[in-house]
Structure 1
């Protein structure tokens, strides 16, 4: 039987990164995990996930939720180091 930790280990995502995808897309954790895994297989996936994280951070800043901003920035930075580059589809048109 697979556990949630096993499923996370099959992807190249950290749980907090999946949480950011889940929050942005308004999906359950497991569905967000699958979406994130699929996005990482696309050349435009890492930039898309980074944009989701920036959107979440901007939303938290607008609401004045300073307690969440620090951890969100750290999650973004770790993701950016682990998944640099990619092709931003919005800029290729």
Structure 2
């Protein structure tokens, strides 16, 4: 049986990014990890990943979870560095 760390090691995203997908989609981390690999295959999917984290930040702000906002900001900064938004030609 695979551990959560095994699953994360397989992914091209880090734990915070996978957690953000799971939170946004209301799905388990293992499913979010699988979903992340599909999303990274297309420019549209990368845009969706960015949107998910931004929406999570907006929700955390709305409900006053400031620590979560800070965590998500760091997660988003990492996503921007490793999987930037695609440029349009």
1:79 aligned to 2:88? no
1:69 is paired with a residue whose SS is: helix
| Matched length | 88
Give distance in 2, aligned partners of 1:9 and 1:85.
23
Structure 2 unpaired stretches of 5+: none
Deviation at 1:26, TM superposition (A): 0.5
- Structure 1 runs (4+) deviating above 4 angstroms are none
Alignment of structure 1 residues 1-93 onto 2, 5 Å: 1-86=1-86
Q: RMSD between aligned alpha carbons?
A: 1.6
Structure 1 unpaired stretches of 5+: 89-93
Query: Conserved in 2, the CA contact under 8 Å of 1:18 and 1:36?
Result: yes
**TM norm structure 1:** 0.86
